[in-house]
Amino acid sequence: MLDREILLEKMRTTPYLPMKAKIIEAQMVTSKEKFFRIQLENKINLGHTPGQFVMVSIFGFEEAPISVCSSPSDKGYFELTVRSVGVFTDRLHKLEKGDLVGIRGPFGRGFPIDNMFGYDVMIVAGGLGIVPLRSLIRYIMSNRNDFGNVQILLGFKSSKELLFEEENKEWMKRAEIKFNCTIDRADSEWKGNVGLITTLIPGVDINPARTYAVVVGPPIMYKFVIRELLKKNIPDHQIIVSLERRMRCGLGKCGHCQVEGVYVCQSGPVFTFNDLRKFKGECHEKAV
């Protein structure tokens, strides 16, 4: 068996064992977020679906779940964008090009790409929610003929928190894509929209029966964004969200991400709004 096949088999059969991976690019992209391009042993592909996550470990220290922000179409590497929010991510931010990390995964259920083929796609990202959605956007761009119209709505607290700014400019220039971005608080340098991301949705022209709306952002955002999407008559099963839960094992064993008997690391993190209606507790209240 070839070395590459051995490594792939290792990933499939030993999900508890991290694979060694090398950081081949690392740079700060805002004051809080750092971008990493990572290469697995032997340059094998991660094989993820947009919306999935990996468990990243610093050897001898700890591990944490991180969303993948690159497309499966990007071969030989994958990308992460990490916000510094605690001890692990602070330490991860100190790693640079050439350093090694451990990778388990990919884990979880990603965006339902197969169901979305031929449909229009409306992407709504709040803040760090653009990270997993970048994976979906880049996949759509690489397979443009498989999808209908594309609308991208982004919302950030301030212009200093904008992520993937150069890519935003590229998306804005593409004639077949409708792009809009807003910030909560304007400064002297900002020339675009000001206001919450929900202010962008009423002006969007869509065919609801032919549209998938994919929403990722802080939990408080879902309730208000979904209300606006329902006003547009998008069916519940065509409204897609990704839940933020602190995954620890990625395998549905530890129970840390469990919501009413559902293991988010396995059944999610991607759910339809129809799925969320079945939850009676925390997730339902945040989204309805």
The pLDDT, as a whole number, for residue 206 is: 94
Give yes or no for a contact between 34 and 84, defined as CB atoms under 8 angstroms apart: yes
> Pick the residue with more confidence: 282 or 209?
209
CB atoms within 10 A of CB 74: 17
What DSSP string describes the chain? --HHHHHHHHHHH-TTSPEEEEEEEEEESSSSEEEEEEEEGGG------TT-EEEEEETTTEEEEEEB-S-TTS-S-EEEEEE--SHHHHHHHT--TT-EEEEEEEESB---HHHHTTSEEEEEEEGGGHHHHHHHHHHHHHTGGGS--EEEEEEESSGGG--SHHHHHHHHH-TTEEEEEEESS--TT--SEES-GGGGSTT----GGGEEEEEES-HHHHHHHHHHHHHTT--GGGEEEE-----SSSSS-S-TTEETTEEHHHH-BEEEHHHHTT--SHHHHHH-
State the pLDDT confidence band at 280, using cuts at 50, 70 and 90: low
Answer whether residue 6 shows pLDDT above 90.
no
Judged by average pLDDT, the poorest of 122-126, 218-222, 249-253 is 249-253
Q: For residue 39, list its beta bridge partners.
A: 22
Answer whether residue 7 shows pLDDT above 70.
no
State the pLDDT confidence band at 1, using cuts at 50, 70 and 90: very low
Task: Tell me which residue has tokens 């304007």.
Answer: 186
Please give the distance of CA 70 from its chain centroid, rounded to a whole number. Answer: 9
The pLDDT, as a whole number, for residue 187 is: 78
The pLDDT, as a whole number, for residue 152 is: 96
What the block records as the tokens of 261 is: 């008997």
Residues 6+ apart with CB under 8 A from 234: 122, 206, 208, 211, 213
Mean pLDDT value of segment 191-202: 90
pLDDT digits (tens, 9 = 90+) for 211-224: 999 999 998 899 99
Q: Are strands 193-194 and 100-107 parallel, antiparallel or unpaired?
A: unpaired
Category of 69 on φ-ψ map: left (φ > 0), alpha (ψ -120 to 50) or beta: alpha
Residues 6+ apart with CB under 8 A from 201: 124, 153, 225, 228, 229, 232
- CA–CA dist 197, 226 (Å, integer): 11
Answer whether residue 32 shows pLDDT above 90.
yes
State the pLDDT confidence band at 244, using cuts at 50, 70 and 90: confident
The pLDDT, as a whole number, for residue 22 is: 97
Ordered by where they begin, the domains of the chain are 3-106 (2.40.30.10), 113-287 (3.40.50.80)
The pLDDT, as a whole number, for residue 104 is: 92
The pLDDT, as a whole number, for residue 245 is: 64
> Pick the residue with more confidence: 232 or 42?
232
The pLDDT, as a whole number, for residue 270 is: 92
- CA–CA dist 273, 236 (Å, integer): 5
Count of residues making up the chain? 288
> Pick the residue with more confidence: 137 or 14?
137
Please give the distance of CA 52 from its chain centroid, rounded to a whole number. Answer: 7
Selection from 14-23, 88-97, 159-168, 276-285 with the highest mean pLDDT: 88-97
Task: Tell me which residue has tokens 């998938």.
Answer: 212
Answer whether residue 82 shows pLDDT above 90.
yes
The pLDDT, as a whole number, for residue 250 is: 73
Please give the distance of CA 231 from its chain centroid, rounded to a whole number. Answer: 25
Q: What are phi and psi of 55, to 5 degrees?
A: -95, 120
The pLDDT, as a whole number, for residue 9 is: 58
Q: pTM for this structure?
A: 0.90
- CA–CA dist 108, 134 (Å, integer): 17
- CA–CA dist 176, 244 (Å, integer): 31
Q: What is the residue-averaged pLDDT of the chain?
A: 88
The pLDDT, as a whole number, for residue 243 is: 85
> Pick the residue with more confidence: 207 or 184?
207
Residue type at 283 in one-letter notation: C
Answer whether residue 93 shows pLDDT above 80.
yes
State the pLDDT confidence band at 129, using cuts at 50, 70 and 90: very high
- pLDDT > 70 in the chain, percent: 91
Mean pLDDT value of segment 186-205: 87
